[in-house]
Amino acid sequence: MFVLMVIFSLLFSACRGLQWSERLQDNAGPMEVCSGENIRLLWNYTLSEGERVKDMVWTCLPEGKATELLASYVDDTFVPMTEFSGRLSLLQDGEIELSCATILESGNYSFTVKTVDKYGNETPYRKTAWVKVDDTPKTQDGQLELRQEREAVRDDTSDRQWHVHLTCGHFFDLGQPAVAVEWKTPNGQTLSSSYFHKGHFHLLLSNPVKGGNYTCSLPSLSPATRCLPPGSALRDDVTVDVDEVGARFSVIEARQLQMQDDTKKENERLHDVIAELKNETETLSLGLATATLRDSHHSTENARLQAELNSVKNENGHHKGYINALQNKTETLKARLVKATLRVSFHAMLTSSFAGRGTIRPFTVITNEGDAFSGTTGIFTAPRNGTYFFVASAGTQSSGKSVYMSLQKDGVAVTRAYTRQYSGYTAMGSVQATLFLAAGQRVWLGSATAITHYIADTTSFSGFLIHAD
């Protein structure tokens, strides 16, 4: 009996084929890494007796894209694709490591190994893993800025009441996935922002205002927050002390100013109505008195004059309508003429090399029709409502450096480009977008990571107004 059990065990071991390690399972939750870290996929296996590997293939299905080939293993040689050369390495069995990951490399990774047993039978085996690359939020000066705005604002979207409001920012990139700050009131209540505008989260305080310390912070459990380096100022809470008496007074003051403005407008309207009625009364009285003096005994003549007076009034009404129509048409033509003659365009080259995070600048301005672009700050400010087109290109020649550039609209990335320099050649990347901008909205180029480097003679930024609204 013992001999039979040993024989059965040997036969089962020889027939079971390739066995996977338990360190990485199919359909597990997403493997989260931070931008700039390494993606390590632990695809280890054990071959059965007499079994050998014929070939191996690694692929990735990025979010919203087609499947990409990462590398292959043929004739005992590991061959990564050109775009991953120098970053992708084979560690053991099917285990691979991709260095310096970017948010563009989130996706479903797959590994297929084909084996041949001692009888010449080929068998494919496959493993998958979902990888999510997170990126940190970024502010203009690397820290949160919290302040109480001096003037109260009216909430026209809900209660149409005046409120004291706080702002927390100034963000030019909300990270991946995008973060939203948390607010804490003096009594410890946690609140969400009322809205986000031009790189700042806004909180409208409920009435009556409660004084004390209000705190703004990034949520500690957010994947983007967890990617912040230790000691980052963005991990710190920021606090502002709201004076209860002063805050309530500012709300009362805003209400009084609004009431004064409304009263003034209503008085002006009533004054115009009274003046118009007075003129009409005087005209009618004069006409009636004239008719009475001419012949008080001829009621027929009076009736005729009254009819003529009514006819004149009707004719004047028609003329007034015609004049108003002509005025409206004139104003429409003037507006169309302004739109047709307004020209906005710019083109600028990077003045000197730029490295690290933040707004890419300064630029040497070559064309700036409409004076909407600042070469010093690198920021374009829309002079009026309209549809604009922007394009930028950037390059680097520094070994191991990257171009990780985003086109920012009021602190929100609308498109990104990433490339990395290898083998001494210049690496180039570009972004472009067609955007609707309201007057005063801003657009600039942002650099996302500390390992970026942009050279002056291959980095440019251009844009122009397609049509005004």
Which CATH number is 69's domain given? Answer: 2.60.40.10
- Domain presence at residue 303: no
Contact by Cβ (8 Å): 388, 464:
yes
How many helices (H) and strands (E) are present in the chain, helices listed first? 4, 36
**Greatest CA span in the chain, whole angstroms?**
146
- Answer whether residue 12 is part of any domain: no
Q: Would 182 be classed as within a structural domain? A: yes
Last residue of a domain, one of 250, 281, 302: 250
- Residues 6 or more apart whose CB falls under 8 angstroms from that of 468 comprise 339, 342, 384, 385, 386
Q: Measured at the alpha carbon of residue 319, what is the angle toward residues 313 and 322, in degrees to the nearest 5?
A: 145
pLDDT for position 128: 93
Note whether 74 and 26 are same-domain residues: yes
Contact assessment for residue 125 and residue 44, using Cβ atoms and an 8 Å cutoff: no
Give yes or no: residues 165 and 60 share one domain. Answer: no
What letter represents residue 315's amino acid? Answer: E
Residues 151 and 95 in one domain: no
What CATH number is attached to the domain comprising 448? 2.60.120.40
Whether 349 and 464 share a structural domain:
yes
Q: Are 114 and 122 in contact (CB under 8 A)?
A: yes
Residue 394, domain member (yes or no): yes
pTM: 0.52
Q: Which of 134, 166, 199 is the last residue of a domain?
A: 134
Please tell me whether residues 110 and 201 are part of one structural domain. no
Specify whether 107 is located in the same domain as 159.
no
Q: How many domains does the chain have?
A: 3
| CATH at 205 | 2.60.40
Q: Burial letters for 357-374: b for 16+ Cβ neighbours within 10 Å, e otherwise? A: bbbbbbbebeebebebbb
DSSP-derived secondary structure letter, 104: G
Range of the domain at 237: 138-250
**Domain match, 119 and 214 both:** no
Cα–Cα dist 118/116, whole Å: 7
pLDDT in tens, the chain (469 residues): 444 443 444 444 445 689 998 665 555 678 999 999 999 999 999 999 999 999 999 999 998 899 999 999 988 899 999 999 899 999 989 999 999 999 999 999 999 999 999 999 999 999 999 999 999 999 999 999 999 999 999 988 887 899 999 999 999 999 999 999 999 999 999 999 999 999 999 999 999 999 999 999 999 999 999 999 999 999 999 999 999 998 888 889 888 888 888 889 998 998 898 888 888 878 887 877 765 666 566 667 667 768 887 886 887 777 787 778 878 887 876 766 555 557 899 999 999 999 889 999 999 999 999 999 999 999 999 999 999 999 999 988 777 788 889 999 999 999 999 888 776 677 888 999 999 999 999 999 999 887 888 888 889 999 999 999 8
210 falls within a domain: yes
Task: Answer yes or no: do 126 and 201 share one domain.
Answer: no
- The predicted pLDDT at position 2 comes to 45
- Report if residue 22 sits inside a domain: yes
Read off the amino acid at residue 271. Answer: H
Token pair for residue 282?
């005087």
| Whole-angstrom Cα Rg for the chain | 36
Domain's final residue, options 96, 116, 134: 134
DSSP state of 452: B
| Residue among 128, 19, 29, 124 at smallest CA distance from 70 | 128
Contact criterion met (CB below 8 Å) for 388 and 452:
no
Q: Is residue 432 part of a domain?
A: yes
Domain match, 88 and 65 both: yes
DSSP state of 223: H
- Are 224 and 179 spatial neighbours (Cβ–Cβ below 8 Å)? yes
161 and 205 in a single domain? The answer is yes
Residues 103 and 146 in one domain: no
Burial state string for 164-180 with b = 16 or more CB within 10 A and e = fewer than 16: bbbbbbebbbbbbeebe
Please name the residue that has the structure tokens 């001419």: 294
* Separation between Cα atoms, residue 153 and residue 167, nearest integer Å: 12
3 state SS of 226: helix
- Whether 126 and 233 map to the same domain: the answer is no
Domain assignment present for 420: yes
| Cβ burial 44-83 (10 Å sphere, 16+ → b, else e) | bbeebeebebeebbbbbeeeeeeeeebbbbeeeeeebeee
**Nearest C-alpha neighbor of 392 from the set 436, 348, 425:** 348
Contacts of 352 (CB under 8 A, 6+ apart): 362, 456
Instruction: For residue 362, report the phi and psi dihedrals to the nearest 5 degrees.
Output: -85, 165
* Token pair recorded at residue 93: 């069995």
Alpha carbon distance 469, 467 (integer Å): 7
